[in-house]
Structure formats: C-alpha cells, structure tokens
Chains A and B, each alone.
Chain A
Amino acid sequence: MRYVLGVLFLAVLLSPMVLRWAVGVSDQKALPKDVLTLVIVTPHSEAIRREFREAFSKYYQEKFGKAVTIDYRVYGGASEIKNVLGALRETTYKANGTYDIDLAWGGGDATFDVDLKPFLEGLALDPEFVKQVYPSPKLGGLKLYEESNPPLWYGTELSGFGIVFNRQVLKYLGVEPPARWEDLTDPRYAGWVVLADPTRSSSARTAFMGVVEHTMAVAEEQGRGADRGWAEGMGLIRQIASNVRDFNDGSGAIPALVSSGDVAAAMTIDFYARSQIQFVGEDRLGYVEPANSTVITPDPIGLLQGAPHRELAKQFVEFVLSEQGQQLWDAKVGTKDGPRLVSLRRTPIRQSVFKDMSDLADPVDPFAHVTSFNTSRARTATFSILEVMIQVSCIDVLNDLRATRAAILSSTHAAELDAKLAVFPFDQKEALRRLDEYRKVSPVEKLVLIRKWTSEFRDEYRALRDEAQK
C-alpha cells in the first residue's frame, strides 16, 4: 500500500514536469547573478504581468545588453496595496527612506489620485516622448497623465464602461438588448441585474460617476442645470438598483455571473466583457457602451517615493508607453510585438497604435469612436461621497427599495411615483454640503451620519409605498 501511495504521490507531483516536457514548454532559464531587478506593486492579472516581464526583459537585453527581470508584488486589490504601503511607510520607509518598491502600476486613475498619491513622487520623461505618446494631454476632458510637474502618474492604457448582457436570459425575460443605462431600469429586469459594490470596487465608483456625469451633462444642455442633473443621475442609479439581484463584492466576477445566466445584465469594464465574450461567444453574451453616456479612464503607472531603481523604473515606464509596449495591450497572440500566450484585450493609450489596427484583437479606436462625453471636474466633485450615497440609498436599504419599486409599479399612478423615485431627494449642492460634513467628522460620527441618512431614505421609501397604496 505504501509503495502504491508513494508511486501515486510521485506521479501526481511530477506530472507538471512531464507535461511541460511533453508539450515542449521550456523551463525558465536561471537568471544571471548580476540581473537587474525592478520591483513593481500591482493588482494587474498574471497574464499582464507575465507578458510585460518577458517583453521588457527581451527589449532590455537587446537595447542595453543586460539581463533584467521584474519582481512583482501582488497583495490583492487597490485597498490592500494602500494598506500594505501604509504599513511600509511606518517602518521601512521611516527607517530607510524607501518602500523597497519602484513602481505602482494599475488600479485606475481614481486610486492613484486619492489612495496612492501620498506614496508617489513625480517622474520626468522627455517632453518630446510624452508628446508622441499623448498628442493631447486629455481625452474627452479626462487627463491621460497627472498634471503635476513632473507628473505623479502616466496613463498606460484605457478602460471604458458599458453593459454586458446575456442574450438568452434577455429572451427569457422578453426584453431587447440594452443600449442605454436607462434600459436597465426596465421592471422586467427585476432581480436580474448585478452591480459591483462601489464601496469595494473603485471601477464601479468610476462607472457610477460616469452615469451621474452623463445625466448632469444632459440636464445642463436641456437647461435644467447640472445640480438637478446630479439628482436625476442618482435617481437613475437607484432605479437600476431596484432591479439588482445583488451588489457584488468585486467587479471581476461580474461578467461570469452574466455568462452563467445568474443575471441578465450588468455594468462592467470593457475588457472584462470582451475577455468573457472571447470564451463564451457572441451568441450568448453581448457588450454595449451606451453612446455618449459613458466615461473612459486611464490606468496609470507611477514612481514610488525613494524608489531604489529609479533609472530602471523610468526605462520600464518608457517601454510600456513605447509603440512596442503599447502593442502588447491588445495585439493578437503571435503578432509582431504582440503577447506570447494570451491576448490581453485592453485598449492602448498611445494614439499612434490605432493607425494600423490589423494586429489588434479589438480594433476599436477610442480616439475616433468616442462613445464618452467630455468629463469635467465640476461634475465629479461628489466622487468621494458617491459610494456613501449609493450605500445609504440603495445597498443598506435594498429590500425597502425593491419593495417600493414593486409597490409603485403596481399602483394606479405608477408613472408619477416612478418619476419621483427617478430623482434623488436632494441635488448636488446638498450632496456637496453632506460631503463637507462627512469629511470633517470622526469615524464614529460618520457611522451616525450614515445611519441618519439611511433612515431618511427609508422614510422616503415608506412614504412612496404609502402613496402607492392610496
């Protein structure tokens, strides 16, 4: 028995080596002793990390004749990175003036502007090079690199937001594929939409901000004013929320939930949807970016204070932004400068890449087909409190919200009451006042404020239900 177990144990243990040999995967060569090591903290996926490490090593060897490797530090998402850097700040950084990490890469511009800003330092690149990469420093009003001199971060690729949907479930529900955010408020979606929890996901926060910005832009255009537009945007979000099955913990799992038919539709980042469609097929899954009503955001890279390998870090940033590095984001596997194993299906940020799109897996030029609108600082002023507003009006009172919408829709004056639900009870001015109040108070008082605001919404929903029953 012992021998059988021993043989079995060895067979299972050695199976990867045998398989690697059988399919001709070569083992990684041992790195030379004098290899240069760049240290990067990142939430990027294993595929991105591997492709960029291999490509950069090759590029560096060819250009400088030296071996280089990247030591990635992976702690989880953006909040874990912030927490770990916080712990390092109190110890390693205080003692030695360095985090022993060179670069932070990925997590969205909001993360870099808010959470990671205290840990970053400016990185100067050749202005000519910057101009080549970003002919314009902004896209649709959104900065592609940080505006300090030198910039704290540079955008390395672009992410858009849209709706991923399951065609077969939509057929079952009897609804047409969605094209606008408003379509997700259709009561036939009740219990069939999933949204990422904005208190956990920075990309969800950005997507919701985009929805609100869109309604603000429309309201402004139509003369109702941006403040009122804010209330309409938040109202739109709570109407969509009344259809949700759940607020999911992270945004990464959402396309899989739609793909498995657990829900019919969801708001998602473009490359999540595209990657899922690649595996499941377009006959089941679809993705749409609501025309002129979504935002596109850059995913940055930035130098950490006291970086031990500054020059190498700069060279890596230059490589990622180079024509060759940018090809890696969306070129098909096996094409010149393309990825070796998996197509990453992300949108390059360098405009020149789109001149010849023959090698791209998703030949969509974000600079030519701008589905987004001009973003503005004035309209994103409530960004820091948006998640709290969604928490108190939707997440913490989800059952109340669902019951209210159901009561409204079954009442004799549904349209009138639904229109009330479609507008937040206060506008942006009041939201900014609340943001100011929220910022100033202690964590305990924040909890009290959240409780107070939640009960305000609960009261509003109760009143709407009472009206519906009249």
Chain B
Amino acid sequence: MRKLRDFIFFTLILAIFIALFGVPIWRVTQAAFLGLPVENQTPQFTLGYFTAIFADPMLRAGLFNSVMIALLTTVLCVLIAMPLAILANRYDFLGKSLFSGLVLVPLILPPFVGAIGMRQLLGRNGAFTAILQNVGWISPGEPFDWLHFRLLGIVLVQALGLYPILYLNLTAALANIDPAMQHAAANLGASRWTIFRRITLPLMRPGLFAGGTLVLIWSFTELGTPLMFDFYITTPVQVYKKLGQVTANPIPYALVVLMMAGSILLYVCGKVLLGRSQDTAVSKASIQSATTRLGFIKSIPVIVIFTLIACLAMLPHVSVVLMSLCAPGTWYESALPKVFTRQHYLNALTHPLAVPSVRNSVMFASLSTIVDILLGLWIAAMIVRSKLPRIFRAALDSLAMLPLAVPGTVMAFGYLAVSLQIKAYLSSRNMPSLAGLFDVQNNPTLVLVVAYAMRRLPYVVRSAVAGLQQTPEDLELASRNLGASPMLTLRRITVPLIAANLIAGALLAFAFAMLEVSDSLILAQKEQYWPITKAIYELFQRIGDGPFIASALGVWAMLILTLTILSTNALLGRKMGAIFRV
C-alpha cells in the first residue's frame, strides 16, 4: 500500500518537476540533439554537436578549466567552512552570535556592484596596490596587477563567496550529531583527532555532502567571477558568449547539456566520495552537544580565526560601501576614497525604481521560498523515506540538483518561450484571465516566482535530505503508531526535527532569490515589476556615476536583506548564532 502511494507521489513530483523545470530544459536538450527547428524539415537525432565540442581545443579547455575551478573552490570552501563550523559547534566564545552572523555576509552581496567593489580593490591602481605602495613594498606610482593571477583569483573569490553554503549545512549537520557518541568514544580513550576522524566526520557527512555538492556545482557553472577576472576559457563563459546565437546555432545548447551532464557527474563523484552508506541515522540526539564556554584569553584564537574569515569575506561589502560614499574618480591610487559624498544615496533612494523594486524582490523571493520549502521537503521525503526502488530515489535526487547546472539566461529564455506558448494557447481557447497569468509581458509574477523557486530548489532539497538522513525514522513511525495522521506527523515530528536544515536551506533560497539576476533581466520586462537586482543593473549602466549610485542602492538592498534575515530569526525566537541548533 505504502509502495503504491510512494509511486503515485513520485509520479506527481515528476509531473510537477517536468512542468516547472523539464519543459524549458526540454527545449535546450532538443536543440542539442536534434538541432534547431527548420520549417518543412524533419529533425534528425545527432551527436554531431557534442563531437564538435570535444574536437574543439578551446571548448575542451573551457570544460577542463571549469572542472578545475569547481574542484579547487570546493576544497578551499571545505578548508574555510569546516573549522568555522566545528568551532561554532563546540565553543561558546566572546561575541559568538556576532561572528556567526558576520561569516554569513557573502550571502547578502548584491551582483554587479560586488564585482565592481572587488575590481576597485584589486585594480592595478586600486586600494591594495595603494596599501602596498604606502607600506613601501612596491615603489610609489608602480601599478600591480592583482587580477593577473586569474585562476587563483577566481578560486579565492568564489570560495570566499560560497563557503557560507557549506558552513550552514555543516553547522546544521553538527547540531544533529548525538554527543553521546563522542562522549562514548572519549570514555573509551579516543583522542580528539580520532573522535573527529572516526565519529564526527562520518556523522556530519550528509551536511558535508549537501553543502559540498552545492558549492561544486555552483562553482562549475559560475559565470560572474570568471567574467570579473576576464577569464573567458570556461564553459559558462563560452555559453554566455554564444547566447547571441541561440536562435541559429545549436552548439550553445549542446554546451548547456554538457554542463548539466558535468554537474550530474560531479554530483555522483561527490556522492561516491561523501555520500556512501548515507543510511538514516538510528538515533537522534537526545541532548544538545554541550558547548565549552571559553574565557576571554581562550576566546582570542577562535575570534582571530572568525575575524580573519569575516574580514576577507567582507572585503567586497566594505568596498561597495566605500564606493557608495565616494565622489566619482576620487578613489584612485589611494587606499581609501579621497572625497566622500552622500549624493549617490540621494540619487539612488529618491529614484522612482528604488521602493517598488525592493517590494517586488521581497514578494518574489518570499513566494518562491515558500514553494521551495513545500516542494523541497516533499522531494526530500521521497528521496529518504519512500520505499521506492533505490534507482528511482537516486534519479529524483539527481534531478533535483539539475536546476543548479543550467545557466540562468538559458533557463530564463526557456521560461519566456514556454510562458508565451501557454499564453497563446490559452488565448486561442478564449481563456483571457488564465492567459493573463502567463503573460510575462504584462505581469511576470507567476513565471518569476516559478523561475526563482526552481533555480533555488536544490538548496532546500539538499538541506532537507541531510536533515532527514540524520533523523531516525523510528520517531515518525512511533507517531503514526500512536494514531497521528501523516500530516500531523510531518507537522509535529518531522519538521521540528529538521527545522535547522530547513531554515538553512530556506535562508539560502531566499537570499539567492533576492539577489537573482538572469531571470530578472529577461522575465521582468515592465518597470513596475522590476526586482532590486534589475534596478541595480539599470543604475549600474549609467556611465560615470552609475557604479556609485548602483553601489548605494546595493548597500540599501544589503541592509534590507540583512534585516529581513535577522527579523525572521527574531520572529522564530532564535538568535542568529543559535538557529542551527536543534
């Protein structure tokens, strides 16, 4: 009976997934294998576009570089996030809630202006060069090209931007570990290192896998950072550069399919390395792991580590704030701007786009996060709890990761085309009000919410899967045995037990939806529906003072996002540093 129900649910999820994600992606896959439709010509299956890609040294090099960037970024993220998560889990130190919040700052960095901020620091005559000149390490007036170290720079900047994904997942995973296990090992004489290696690390593997694969796939498909470093031989940049040809050339579609395949491959590799024997935990932590309270002196090394990472992570933010206050042209050959002004804030905040755009962003991001939580939890439950054959669950697991692998612009065009087709179909059937829902040109709310939700679904799925894997099913079964309905069990048992993971996933989904670019640029066509990222992009385009005004609007967006996250946490009754403790 349960198997039948699981099959029905599986089919239903598949249908939803196909409707919301599969259809736009089908267009991409179709073009990659059948070419673009030509009137009066039957399309024929071909692998020619793929062989052409592999025969081309530039495109081959692009794939190689993308994989290398993804692997190195993920390793660096683990090296940054793991110590932070362990320290936060184990110790209570001075200013812990502040530092735990500060290390999450990369989540609130708006696009475009973040890149401009980094360029201002790393430019030949930028702030870092000026600092080196000031301390006498290089001669005055001698420029230094930081952006010359491209691969290293891309990996570093990406890792500093993405480690919070891993940090959130690791913190949630650590919070779910039953400290009794570690105590037992310690009682048996195991050293700290042995306990970490043999107990903690294996038990936190679901979180490591969840965060690691997200970072791996994100950095594999990342476009903005390589562009900032003018490093064009990566697959996402090559796809981006061929976007202008999408109406005539199937090669960009084949490249996207390769990116999707590459992402699945990386995901499977991650699973083999980290996700083996991810059987559900047999016991749930009955007590919180006890944290050691550190005195002032002992807090210092921990604070130093957190401060170092927070400072590095906040560099672009600081730069954006300084840009927003700097008179154009006056931050030149100097560590700090020479002339400050508040004019950019006046220009940005009195601009007619400011208020409506933030209202739209909050609305689109909130709605899409709700969709993500509902759909993500459902998918996660199917992956972990259902009695479906393993292959079905594995397929669903991989499918749920796919939205990360498709470039935003390609997805956006897919959604645009599909919504236009639906609108035309419904109009022809004389259903104008229903057609209006899909009319991107007039009101893109529905399509934007779906697009935002699908692209951020993997964050919630991964977090929820990790949570469910660390939670024994026995507790839910006990609830059912006592007569509770599935819904009541979900509401009263499952959701509270994995709340930390859900909050972590939802937080990522909300933050990234607020800062979404590609869908917004293509799908939000009328000014009245523009989200904040499109408003920033518009102001950013102004020659001369554009980057400065955009920075001011970016700072405002950062504040709104920070306060939204903090207020949500406050409403949930938990402090920032403690939300991931169950």
Which residues in A have some Cβ–Cβ distance to B below 8 Å?
Answer: 1-2, 5-6, 8-9, 12-13, 15-17, 19-20, 23, 25, 28, 45-47, 71-76, 79-80, 82-84, 86-88, 90-92, 94-96, 100, 168-169, 172, 191, 197, 199-200, 245-249, 252, 255-256, 259-263, 271-272, 275-276, 278-281, 284, 342, 396, 443-444, 446-448, 451, 454
Contacts and interface: CB of A to CB of B under 8 A. Distances in A.
Contacts of A83: 243-244, 246-247, 413
B543 A6 contact: no
A260 B126 contact: yes
A281 B55 CA distance: 50
A390 B10 CA distance: 52
Contact of B416 (A6, A84, A448): A84
**Which interface residue of A261, A263, A444, A447 has the most chain B CB atoms within 10 A?**
A444
B277 interface: no
A-B pairs, 4 with minimum CB distance: A79-B244, A261-B125, A280-B329, A91-B420
A145 B193 CA distance: 77
Nearest to B567: A5
Contact of A172 (B141, B247, B427): B141
Given A74-B538, A396-B58, A17 B355 contact: yes
Contacts of A259: 329
A76 B350 contact: no
22 contacts: A5-B566, A13-B358, A16-B556, A19-B345, A45-B542, A73-B525, A79-B244, A87-B413, A88-B420, A91-B424, A92-B424, A96-B427, A168-B333, A197-B241, A249-B230, A252-B543, A260-B125, A261-B125, A280-B328, A280-B329, A342-B542, A447-B251
Interface stretch (B400-408, B484-492, B557-565): B557-565
Contact of B241 (A46, A168, A200): A200
B41 interface: no
A12 B424 contact: no
A247 B227 CA distance: 11
A252 B550 CA distance: 15
A16 B358 CA distance: 11
Given A16-B350, A83-B246, A262-B123, A73 B526 contact: yes
A2 B420 contact: no
A100 B251 CA distance: 31
A246 to B, nearest CB: 4
B521 A76 contact: yes
A281 B329 CA distance: 8
Nearest to A396: B58
A105 to B, nearest CB: 15
Contact of B564 (A9, A16, A247, A275): A9
Contacts of B420: 87-88, 90-92
Contacts of B244: 79, 82-83, 199-200
Interface string B524-565: 011100000010001101111101000000001001100110
Contact of A15 (B143, B145, B556): B556
The secondary structure that dominates the B interface is helix
B563 A5 contact: yes
B143 A172 contact: yes
A439 B98 CA distance: 61
A257 to B, nearest CB: 8
B512 interface: no
B352 A95 contact: no
B350 A25 contact: yes
B48 A444 contact: yes
Nearest to B568: A5
A220 to B, nearest CB: 33
B522 A76 contact: yes
B349 A261 contact: no
**Which interface residue of A5, A91, A191, A256 has the most chain B CB atoms within 10 A?**
A91
A261 B248 CA distance: 39
Contacts of A169: 125, 143
Given A20-B350, A262-B119, 18 more contacts: A1-B570, A6-B567, A16-B355, A23-B350, A45-B538, A46-B353, A47-B542, A79-B243, A80-B521, A80-B522, A82-B247, A92-B420, A92-B441, A252-B541, A261-B124, A262-B125, A276-B544, A443-B245
B409 to A, nearest CB: 8
Given A73-B526, A95-B427, A451-B55, A279 B119 contact: no
A19 B350 contact: yes
Given A15-B556, A172-B141, A444 B49 contact: yes
B249 interface: yes
Contacts of B467: none
A443 B251 contact: yes
B544 A91 contact: no
Interface string B328-352: 1100110000000000011001101
B56 interface: yes
B329 A261 contact: no
B250 interface: yes
B329 A284 contact: yes
B465 to A, nearest CB: 31
Contact of A9 (B53, B57, B58, B567): B567
Contacts of B345: 19
Contacts of B125: 169, 260-262
A261 B333 contact: yes
Interface in B224-249: 227, 230, 232, 241, 243-249
Interface in B243-282: 243-251
A261 B227 CA distance: 19
Contacts of A272: 543
B243 A279 contact: no
B369 interface: no
B421 interface: yes
Contacts of B120: 260
B389 to A, nearest CB: 39
B229 to A, nearest CB: 9
B428 interface: yes
A75 B542 contact: no
A160 B266 CA distance: 48
B498 interface: no
A12 B333 CA distance: 33
Contacts of B350: 16, 19-20, 23, 25
A25 to B, nearest CB: 5
Given A91-B421, A272-B543, A249 B227 contact: yes
A256 B570 contact: no
**Which interface residue of B143, B420, B547 has the most chain A CB atoms within 10 A?**
B420
B571 interface: yes
**Which interface residue of A8, A200, A278, A443 has the most chain B CB atoms within 10 A?**
A443
B420 to A, nearest CB: 4
Interface string B315-331: 00000000000001100
A284 B248 CA distance: 44
Contacts of B248: 443
Contacts of A25: 350
Contacts of A447: 52-53, 55-56, 251
Contacts of A88: 420
B225 to A, nearest CB: 13
B417 interface: yes
A62 B62 CA distance: 58
Contacts of B53: 447
A46 B538 contact: yes
B423 interface: yes
A100 B441 contact: yes
B354 interface: yes
A275 B544 contact: yes
A46 B346 contact: no
Contacts of B346: 19, 23
Contact of B539 (A46, A200, A276): A46
B556 to A, nearest CB: 7
Contacts of B145: 191
Given A87-B420, A172-B143, A447-B52, A261 B563 contact: no
A15 B563 contact: no
Interface in B76-99: none
